[in-house]
Structure 1
Amino acid sequence: MAVTDNGQMRGAKPPIRLFKNLSAKIAALPMILTATVIFVGCSIWTIVHSFTNSRLLPKLNFVGLDQYERLWGSARWVQSVENLVIFGICSLIFTFVIAFVLAALLDRKIRFENAFRTIFLYPFALSFIVTGLVWQWILNPEFGIQAIVRGLGWQSFTFDPLYNADIVIFGILIAGLWQGTGLIMCIMLAGLRGIDEDIWKAAKVDGIGTVKTYLLIIIPMLKPVFVTSLVLISAGIIKVYDLVVAQTSGGPGIASEVPAKYVYDQLFQRQNLGQGFAASTMMLAMVVVVLIPYVYLQYGGKKND
């Protein structure tokens, strides 16, 4: 039997596509089964029971859209969604801006870069509960920033965001930025370090300033980095819970409620499974809304290439 130039036997049947990389597929089976059974199965189970009047125990007593009507008729849920929108928009903007500025500064190969990178990334190593408790003390008006500034002589200075219903979500935002910005900074720094130095040299030869180089050349090249950062930040926003519980427990009143806390309270404190499942389903819808742009940005444009 003749042999072709690439070493294959002429006339031999090509290997069946299903059996290509068989060992890798077998190794991935536990992960595939886990994702299918636990994630997909539990998601379907939750969605189905969100249309029931389950209380302490789940039961298939369907009541249509009653749970969703009660959900969106609840002032607490509406407040939690509003807080999530405010927290999410501010978190996305400030995290991207602060992380990129820090990454750009570190990319200039400054002195003590390793020390600065460690300092900025260190908060991410802490749990959100620890971060929340730390910032609860820092923002406490009796012995935090307000007390320190007043001790320096500015007696009229007021800074108590966690005790002011109008701005309490921004107090939580401060802790969230401190916790998560370092990770996004490191991701962006890795992206910047992957850019060829010749691009910077060419920009300098053409007389393009540093700011314009970042805006017109570098940032467009970092699209995959920004997409990854967007997904990570968005996932953290949607599931934010620990910071709220540690700092305010949803107070003052319901001023700092978030959807994840609403779901927890309905499922485990009020034993209202149907309402908790409906809220969980809405959170799942939020995740899908985040994933659709990600999938489009990652794979949608490749068909046109």
Structure 2
Amino acid sequence: MTQKSIPAPKPLSDWFRRNVAKLVVAPTFGLIIFFVYGFIAWTGYVSFTKSKMLPTYSFEGFYQYIRLWKMTPWNVAMENLLVFGSLFIVIAIVLGCLLAIALDQKVRAEGALRTVYLYPMAISFIITGTAWKWILNPGLGIQKLVQSWGWESFSFDWLINSEMAVYTLVIAAVWQSSGFVMALFLAALRGVDSEIIKAAYLDGASLSRIYLVIILPTLRPVFLSCFFILTHMAVKSFDLVVALTGGGPGYSTIMPANFMYEMTFRRNQIGLGAASAMMMLATVMAIVIPYLYSELREKKNG
């Protein structure tokens, strides 16, 4: 009866070789968990306290949320977010898609045009807001220019009109972001099989019908990507508001991010600011979670 040989223990170097990738990623992963998700959890807890200048940790329930929704500036901020976000997302996607389709026709100087359309995305919202503040200023910009041409009755005072000022944010945001949307759509259009387009031409389909019926429906992932990116940009809009309108006239163009900053860092209401931050997070989650659920369900059923 032969005695079975005991396998020699694997050296530590083999274990290290197998797990080196995990070891390299682990510190970064740990920092992300702590500084992102850890502070989200901390903010969520602080929103249930009566913290003011310094955080306190006595649980007070939904006191700050009830107080938040009774404040007129917060309700105005949410209404502004709805108006600004809806117009910004729809116009940027439509305009970016149309620009991509135009460039997809192999026009002359395509590279230069693509650079011109995409350039605004390379600058910050602070610069965008400052530039458009000059352009839309009734005493310096479009109104002054047109009146100098002889049209004395022309008026374009949206920037100082509390009813129209929020639309100036839409103008500036669309100008900056539509080129980025165009780049995404143009990359997707260049990936469409040319044989499909040729077959549609042979069947007598017009160019507009080819795009509307054949090509654009295949770009659903690009539409969704643009929607979520622009939604994220709309919800966290802060610097554009500060540079362009300052939240005014009054607080007519204030956004949730500006309200959160005002409450947290200027009025020393940490608990209220944390509650507004959690409501912003809930707004994003209300859009992202149904999408992720539908995608996972489609993959499971597919």
- Normalised TM-score (structure 1): 0.91
Structure 2: distance between partners of 1:122 and 1:31: 32
2:214 is aligned to 217
In the alignment, is residue 155 of structure 1 matched against residue 147 of structure 2? no
Deviates more, 1:203-212 or 1:79-88: 203-212
1:39 is aligned to 36
Quote how far apart the aligned CAs of 1:211 are: 1.6
Q: Encode CA deviations 1:32-51: one digit per residue, 9 max, x unaligned.
A: 22332121111111111101
Structure 1: distance between partners of 2:224 and 2:180: 14
Structure 2: distance between partners of 1:35 and 1:298: 25
Quote how far apart the aligned CAs of 1:20 are: 11
Quote how far apart the aligned CAs of 1:23 are: 4.3
Deviates more, 1:143-152 or 1:61-70: 61-70
- Structure 1 residues 20 and 255: alpha-carbon distance in aligned structure 2, compared to 1, 3 A threshold: farther
Does structure 2 retain, via aligned residues, the 8 Å contact 1:49–1:60?
A: yes
Structure 2: distance between partners of 1:232 and 1:128: 15
In the alignment, is residue 131 of structure 1 matched against residue 128 of structure 2? yes
- Structure 1 residues 45 and 222: alpha-carbon distance in aligned structure 2, compared to 1, 3 A threshold: same
1:11 is aligned to none
Quote how far apart the aligned CAs of 1:21 are: 7.5
Match of 1:264 among 258, 261, 266: 261
Tell me which amino acid in the other structure corresponds to 2:293.
Y
Structure 1: distance between partners of 2:135 and 2:27: 45
Tell me which amino acid in the other structure corresponds to 2:283.
M
Quote how far apart the aligned CAs of 1:30 are: 3.4
- Structure 1 residues 297 and 113: alpha-carbon distance in aligned structure 2, compared to 1, 3 A threshold: farther
- Structure 1 residues 112 and 60: alpha-carbon distance in aligned structure 2, compared to 1, 3 A threshold: same
Q: Encode CA deviations 1:209-253: one digit per residue, 9 max, x unaligned.
A: 222221221112111111111111010000001111001111001
Counterparts of 1:253-292 in structure 2 under 5 Å?
253-292=250-289
2:108 is aligned to 111
Does structure 2 retain, via aligned residues, the 8 Å contact 1:146–1:157?
A: yes
Structure 2: distance between partners of 1:95 and 1:20: 48
Tell me which amino acid in the other structure corresponds to 1:228.
S
Structure 2: distance between partners of 1:34 and 1:214: 46
In the alignment, is residue 185 of structure 1 matched against residue 195 of structure 2? no
Count of residue pairs brought into register by the alignment: 288
Tell me which amino acid in the other structure corresponds to 2:274.
F
Q: Encode CA deviations 1:90-126: one digit per residue, 9 max, x unaligned.
A: 0111011100000001111100000000000111111
- Structure 1 residues 199 and 279: alpha-carbon distance in aligned structure 2, compared to 1, 3 A threshold: same
- Structure 1 residues 232 and 254: alpha-carbon distance in aligned structure 2, compared to 1, 3 A threshold: same
In the alignment, is residue 63 of structure 1 matched against residue 60 of structure 2? yes
RMSD: 1.7
In the alignment, is residue 196 of structure 1 matched against residue 193 of structure 2? yes
Q: Residue 263 of structure 1 aligns to a residue in which SS?
A: helix
Structure 1: distance between partners of 2:17 and 2:222: 31
Q: Residue 222 of structure 1 aligns to a residue in which SS?
A: helix
Structure 2: distance between partners of 1:20 and 1:44: 35
4+ long deviations beyond 6 Å: none
Quote how far apart the aligned CAs of 1:22 are: 4.2
Match of 2:168 among 168, 171, 187: 171
Quote how far apart the aligned CAs of 1:294 are: 3.5
Runs of 5+ consecutive residues of structure 1 not aligned to the other structure: 1-18
Tell me which amino acid in the other structure corresponds to 1:193.
R
Match of 2:91 among 86, 91, 94: 94
Does structure 2 retain, via aligned residues, the 8 Å contact 1:231–1:294?
A: no
Tell me which amino acid in the other structure corresponds to 2:207.
T
Quote how far apart the aligned CAs of 1:208 are: 1.8
Q: Encode CA deviations 1:170-200: one digit per residue, 9 max, x unaligned.
A: 0111000111111111011101111111111
- Structure 1 residues 208 and 286: alpha-carbon distance in aligned structure 2, compared to 1, 3 A threshold: same
2:4 is aligned to none
Structure 2: distance between partners of 1:189 and 1:20: 42
Deviates more, 1:286-295 or 1:44-53: 286-295
Runs of 5+ consecutive residues of structure 2 not aligned to the other structure: 1-15
In the alignment, is residue 304 of structure 1 matched against residue 277 of structure 2? no
In the alignment, is residue 48 of structure 1 matched against residue 45 of structure 2? yes
Structure 2: distance between partners of 1:180 and 1:259: 20
Identity percentage of aligned residues: 43
Q: Residue 138 of structure 1 aligns to a residue in which SS?
A: helix
Q: Encode CA deviations 1:248-295: one digit per residue, 9 max, x unaligned.
A: 111001100100000001110001000000000001101211211442
